Structure 1
Amino acid sequence: MISRRFIIGSRKFENNLALRIRIQISKLLLKYVKKIMKWRKIQMTICHSTDTTFKADLKHEGLTLVNFWAPWCGPCRSFAPILERFDQEYSNVVRVLKINADEQPNTVAHYGILSLPTTILFKNGEPIDKILGAVHIDKLKQCIPDKNN
Protein backbone atom coordinates (compact mmCIF):
# COMPACT_ATOMS: atom_id res chain seq x y z
CA MET A 1 0.00 0.00 0.00
CA ILE A 2 1.33 3.45 -0.97
CA SER A 3 1.11 6.05 1.72
CA ARG A 4 -0.55 9.41 1.11
CA ARG A 5 2.67 11.18 2.06
CA PHE A 6 4.58 9.49 -0.76
CA ILE A 7 1.95 10.50 -3.35
CA ILE A 8 1.99 14.16 -2.26
CA GLY A 9 5.79 14.16 -2.26
CA SER A 10 5.99 12.71 -5.77
CA ARG A 11 3.56 15.36 -7.08
CA LYS A 12 5.79 18.07 -5.70
CA PHE A 13 8.75 16.45 -7.38
CA GLU A 14 6.85 16.25 -10.69
CA ASN A 15 5.81 19.91 -10.41
CA ASN A 16 9.36 21.01 -9.62
CA LEU A 17 10.73 18.94 -12.47
CA ALA A 18 8.18 20.39 -14.91
CA LEU A 19 9.01 23.89 -13.72
CA ARG A 20 12.74 23.31 -14.17
CA ILE A 21 12.16 21.95 -17.67
CA ARG A 22 10.04 24.96 -18.60
CA ILE A 23 12.72 27.34 -17.30
CA GLN A 24 15.43 25.55 -19.28
CA ILE A 25 13.33 25.63 -22.45
CA SER A 26 12.64 29.34 -21.95
CA LYS A 27 16.35 30.06 -21.50
CA LEU A 28 17.23 28.11 -24.65
CA LEU A 29 14.54 29.84 -26.69
CA LEU A 30 15.69 33.26 -25.50
CA LYS A 31 19.28 32.37 -26.36
CA TYR A 32 18.34 31.32 -29.90
CA VAL A 33 16.08 34.33 -30.46
CA LYS A 34 18.96 36.63 -29.49
CA LYS A 35 21.25 34.81 -31.94
CA ILE A 36 18.69 35.11 -34.73
CA MET A 37 18.20 38.82 -34.05
CA LYS A 38 21.95 39.41 -34.21
CA TRP A 39 22.21 37.33 -37.36
CA ARG A 40 19.43 39.21 -39.14
CA LYS A 41 20.59 42.58 -37.74
CA ILE A 42 17.04 43.82 -37.55
CA GLN A 43 16.88 47.57 -37.05
CA MET A 44 13.54 49.07 -36.23
CA THR A 45 14.13 52.76 -36.72
CA ILE A 46 10.61 53.86 -37.67
CA CYS A 47 9.61 56.61 -35.24
CA HIS A 48 6.06 57.49 -34.28
CA SER A 49 5.52 61.22 -34.23
CA THR A 50 2.84 63.40 -32.60
CA ASP A 51 1.47 66.89 -33.21
CA THR A 52 3.81 68.27 -30.55
CA THR A 53 6.97 66.46 -31.70
CA PHE A 54 6.47 66.59 -35.47
CA LYS A 55 8.29 69.91 -36.09
CA ALA A 56 11.26 68.75 -34.04
CA ASP A 57 11.26 65.39 -35.85
CA LEU A 58 11.34 67.16 -39.22
CA LYS A 59 14.39 69.26 -38.31
CA HIS A 60 16.47 66.23 -39.26
CA GLU A 61 18.74 67.23 -42.13
CA GLY A 62 18.39 65.13 -45.23
CA LEU A 63 15.44 63.02 -46.28
CA THR A 64 12.48 62.15 -44.07
CA LEU A 65 9.62 59.93 -45.20
CA VAL A 66 6.39 60.56 -43.25
CA ASN A 67 3.57 58.01 -43.44
CA PHE A 68 0.08 59.08 -42.36
CA TRP A 69 -1.96 56.04 -41.33
CA ALA A 70 -4.84 54.84 -39.14
CA PRO A 71 -5.31 51.53 -37.30
CA TRP A 72 -8.73 50.91 -38.90
CA CYS A 73 -7.36 51.43 -42.46
CA GLY A 74 -6.84 48.13 -44.32
CA PRO A 75 -4.42 49.52 -46.93
CA CYS A 76 -2.44 51.17 -44.11
CA ARG A 77 -2.02 47.81 -42.38
CA SER A 78 -0.93 46.13 -45.61
CA PHE A 79 1.51 48.98 -46.34
CA ALA A 80 3.20 48.73 -42.91
CA PRO A 81 5.46 45.72 -43.74
CA ILE A 82 6.50 47.40 -47.00
CA LEU A 83 7.45 50.52 -45.08
CA GLU A 84 9.40 48.45 -42.54
CA ARG A 85 11.30 46.66 -45.31
CA PHE A 86 12.04 50.02 -46.96
CA ASP A 87 13.30 51.34 -43.63
CA GLN A 88 15.62 48.36 -43.20
CA GLU A 89 17.17 48.94 -46.62
CA TYR A 90 17.34 52.75 -46.54
CA SER A 91 17.75 53.56 -42.84
CA ASN A 92 21.14 55.16 -43.52
CA VAL A 93 19.65 57.47 -46.21
CA VAL A 94 16.07 58.21 -45.16
CA ARG A 95 14.48 58.70 -41.76
CA VAL A 96 10.98 57.19 -41.56
CA LEU A 97 8.22 58.65 -39.38
CA LYS A 98 4.66 57.41 -38.87
CA ILE A 99 1.76 59.58 -37.79
CA ASN A 100 -1.55 58.15 -36.62
CA ALA A 101 -4.10 60.35 -38.42
CA ASP A 102 -6.80 59.73 -35.80
CA GLU A 103 -4.63 60.80 -32.87
CA GLN A 104 -2.79 63.71 -34.55
CA PRO A 105 -5.47 65.81 -36.32
CA ASN A 106 -3.49 69.09 -36.39
CA THR A 107 -0.61 67.73 -38.47
CA VAL A 108 -3.03 65.90 -40.77
CA ALA A 109 -5.00 69.10 -41.37
CA HIS A 110 -1.84 71.18 -41.86
CA TYR A 111 -0.68 68.95 -44.74
CA GLY A 112 -4.18 68.47 -46.19
CA ILE A 113 -4.28 64.71 -45.84
CA LEU A 114 -7.62 63.52 -47.26
CA SER A 115 -6.92 59.83 -47.89
CA LEU A 116 -4.97 57.15 -46.09
CA PRO A 117 -2.30 55.98 -46.34
CA THR A 118 -0.51 59.08 -47.56
CA THR A 119 3.27 59.28 -47.58
CA ILE A 120 5.16 62.55 -47.92
CA LEU A 121 8.89 62.81 -48.58
CA PHE A 122 10.58 65.79 -46.94
CA LYS A 123 14.04 67.15 -47.68
CA ASN A 124 15.48 69.38 -44.95
CA GLY A 125 11.98 69.91 -43.55
CA GLU A 126 10.30 70.84 -46.86
CA PRO A 127 7.88 68.48 -48.67
CA ILE A 128 9.22 67.39 -52.06
CA ASP A 129 7.01 64.42 -53.01
CA LYS A 130 3.63 62.96 -52.04
CA ILE A 131 2.47 59.36 -52.54
CA LEU A 132 -1.18 58.41 -52.13
CA GLY A 133 -2.22 54.90 -51.20
CA ALA A 134 -0.33 51.71 -50.45
CA VAL A 135 2.41 51.34 -53.04
CA HIS A 136 5.06 48.77 -53.87
CA ILE A 137 8.53 49.17 -52.37
CA ASP A 138 9.91 49.98 -55.83
CA LYS A 139 7.74 53.11 -55.96
CA LEU A 140 9.18 54.23 -52.63
CA LYS A 141 12.71 53.63 -53.89
CA GLN A 142 12.03 55.72 -57.02
CA CYS A 143 11.15 58.72 -54.86
CA ILE A 144 14.60 58.83 -53.27
CA PRO A 145 16.66 61.28 -55.36
CA ASP A 146 20.09 60.08 -54.24
CA LYS A 147 19.41 56.44 -55.16
CA ASN A 148 18.09 57.12 -58.66
CA ASN A 149 21.49 58.16 -60.01
Structure 2
Amino acid sequence: MLKNVPKILSPQLLKVLCEMGHSDRIVIADGNFPSESVGKDAIVIRMDGHGIPEILDAVLKLFPLDTYVEKPVNLMEVMPGDHVETPIWDQYADIVEKNEGSRGQIGHIERFRFYEEAREAYAVIATGEQALYANIMLQKGVVQ
Protein backbone atom coordinates (compact mmCIF):
# COMPACT_ATOMS: atom_id res chain seq x y z
CA MET A 1 0.00 0.00 0.00
CA LEU A 2 1.05 3.55 -0.65
CA LYS A 3 -0.10 6.76 0.96
CA ASN A 4 -1.76 9.65 -0.88
CA VAL A 5 -2.16 7.78 -4.19
CA PRO A 6 -5.74 7.97 -5.47
CA LYS A 7 -7.31 4.51 -5.14
CA ILE A 8 -8.63 4.60 -8.72
CA LEU A 9 -5.05 4.45 -10.08
CA SER A 10 -4.20 0.80 -10.64
CA PRO A 11 -0.64 -0.51 -10.33
CA GLN A 12 -0.55 -0.86 -14.13
CA LEU A 13 -1.56 2.78 -14.65
CA LEU A 14 0.90 4.01 -12.01
CA LYS A 15 3.67 2.10 -13.77
CA VAL A 16 2.75 3.64 -17.13
CA LEU A 17 2.60 7.16 -15.71
CA CYS A 18 6.03 6.63 -14.17
CA GLU A 19 7.52 5.19 -17.37
CA MET A 20 6.34 8.09 -19.50
CA GLY A 21 8.89 10.78 -20.26
CA HIS A 22 8.74 14.45 -21.15
CA SER A 23 6.46 15.10 -24.15
CA ASP A 24 4.91 11.62 -24.09
CA ARG A 25 1.13 11.67 -24.43
CA ILE A 26 -1.65 9.69 -22.82
CA VAL A 27 -5.25 9.55 -24.05
CA ILE A 28 -8.13 9.10 -21.65
CA ALA A 29 -10.79 7.77 -24.02
CA ASP A 30 -14.55 7.64 -23.79
CA GLY A 31 -16.47 4.41 -24.31
CA ASN A 32 -16.98 5.06 -28.04
CA PHE A 33 -13.30 5.68 -28.82
CA PRO A 34 -11.55 2.89 -30.80
CA SER A 35 -9.00 2.40 -28.03
CA GLU A 36 -7.69 -0.96 -29.16
CA SER A 37 -7.23 -0.08 -32.84
CA VAL A 38 -5.92 3.45 -32.30
CA GLY A 39 -3.78 2.21 -29.42
CA LYS A 40 -2.43 -0.88 -31.17
CA ASP A 41 1.12 0.48 -30.81
CA ALA A 42 0.48 1.87 -27.34
CA ILE A 43 -0.22 0.45 -23.93
CA VAL A 44 -3.99 0.15 -23.52
CA ILE A 45 -5.28 0.20 -19.96
CA ARG A 46 -8.89 -0.88 -19.44
CA MET A 47 -10.87 1.13 -16.89
CA ASP A 48 -14.34 0.41 -18.25
CA GLY A 49 -16.17 0.88 -14.96
CA HIS A 50 -15.04 4.48 -14.51
CA GLY A 51 -15.78 7.87 -16.00
CA ILE A 52 -13.16 10.25 -17.34
CA PRO A 53 -13.53 13.07 -14.77
CA GLU A 54 -12.58 10.85 -11.83
CA ILE A 55 -9.63 9.36 -13.74
CA LEU A 56 -8.47 12.78 -14.98
CA ASP A 57 -8.52 14.20 -11.46
CA ALA A 58 -6.51 11.28 -10.09
CA VAL A 59 -3.97 11.34 -12.94
CA LEU A 60 -3.38 15.09 -12.62
CA LYS A 61 -2.53 14.69 -8.93
CA LEU A 62 0.64 12.87 -10.07
CA PHE A 63 1.20 13.84 -13.71
CA PRO A 64 3.01 17.09 -14.57
CA LEU A 65 1.72 18.83 -17.69
CA ASP A 66 4.19 19.99 -20.32
CA THR A 67 5.07 23.67 -19.89
CA TYR A 68 6.95 23.82 -23.21
CA VAL A 69 3.80 23.61 -25.35
CA GLU A 70 0.91 26.04 -25.40
CA LYS A 71 -1.82 23.42 -24.91
CA PRO A 72 -0.68 20.24 -23.08
CA VAL A 73 -4.33 19.22 -22.67
CA ASN A 74 -6.37 18.62 -25.82
CA LEU A 75 -9.99 17.68 -26.44
CA MET A 76 -11.55 16.18 -29.56
CA GLU A 77 -13.53 18.88 -31.39
CA VAL A 78 -17.17 18.28 -32.19
CA MET A 79 -17.67 17.58 -35.90
CA PRO A 80 -19.53 20.27 -37.83
CA GLY A 81 -23.16 19.22 -38.11
CA ASP A 82 -23.09 17.15 -34.90
CA HIS A 83 -25.46 18.89 -32.53
CA VAL A 84 -23.80 17.61 -29.38
CA GLU A 85 -23.46 19.48 -26.11
CA THR A 86 -20.21 18.94 -24.21
CA PRO A 87 -20.83 19.89 -20.56
CA ILE A 88 -18.14 17.39 -19.56
CA TRP A 89 -15.56 19.85 -20.96
CA ASP A 90 -16.50 22.28 -18.16
CA GLN A 91 -15.78 19.52 -15.64
CA TYR A 92 -12.39 18.97 -17.29
CA ALA A 93 -11.60 22.69 -17.10
CA ASP A 94 -12.48 22.71 -13.38
CA ILE A 95 -10.27 19.66 -12.77
CA VAL A 96 -7.33 21.13 -14.71
CA GLU A 97 -7.69 24.44 -12.88
CA LYS A 98 -7.88 22.68 -9.49
CA ASN A 99 -4.73 20.65 -10.17
CA GLU A 100 -2.73 23.07 -12.32
CA GLY A 101 -4.03 26.52 -11.35
CA SER A 102 -5.21 27.49 -14.85
CA ARG A 103 -7.76 26.59 -17.51
CA GLY A 104 -5.65 28.11 -20.29
CA GLN A 105 -3.80 24.88 -21.01
CA ILE A 106 -6.75 23.27 -22.79
CA GLY A 107 -6.90 23.15 -26.58
CA HIS A 108 -9.06 21.42 -29.18
CA ILE A 109 -8.03 19.13 -32.02
CA GLU A 110 -10.17 18.29 -35.05
CA ARG A 111 -11.61 14.76 -34.72
CA PHE A 112 -9.56 12.95 -37.39
CA ARG A 113 -6.36 14.76 -36.42
CA PHE A 114 -7.05 13.74 -32.82
CA TYR A 115 -7.15 10.09 -33.95
CA GLU A 116 -3.85 10.55 -35.82
CA GLU A 117 -2.14 12.11 -32.83
CA ALA A 118 -3.63 9.47 -30.51
CA ARG A 119 -1.95 6.76 -32.63
CA GLU A 120 1.38 8.22 -31.45
CA ALA A 121 0.37 8.20 -27.77
CA TYR A 122 2.38 6.22 -25.24
CA ALA A 123 -0.81 4.90 -23.66
CA VAL A 124 -4.59 4.91 -23.99
CA ILE A 125 -6.91 4.55 -21.03
CA ALA A 126 -10.16 2.96 -22.22
CA THR A 127 -13.00 4.09 -19.94
CA GLY A 128 -16.72 3.50 -19.69
CA GLU A 129 -17.41 7.23 -20.12
CA GLN A 130 -20.72 7.70 -21.93
CA ALA A 131 -20.49 11.42 -22.73
CA LEU A 132 -19.91 12.11 -26.41
CA TYR A 133 -16.70 13.87 -27.51
CA ALA A 134 -15.28 13.24 -24.05
CA ASN A 135 -11.81 12.12 -25.21
CA ILE A 136 -8.87 14.00 -23.71
CA MET A 137 -5.15 13.86 -24.43
CA LEU A 138 -2.48 14.93 -21.91
CA GLN A 139 1.16 15.71 -22.71
CA LYS A 140 3.62 15.01 -19.92
CA GLY A 141 6.01 17.62 -18.63
CA VAL A 142 8.76 17.50 -16.04
CA VAL A 143 8.61 17.64 -12.27
CA GLN A 144 10.19 20.87 -11.10
Same fold (TM over 0.5): no
The structure showing larger relative contact order (alpha-carbon pairs under 8 Å, at least 6 residues apart) is 2
TM-score by length of 2: 0.31
Name whichever structure is richer in helix by fraction. Answer: 1
TM-score by length of 1: 0.30
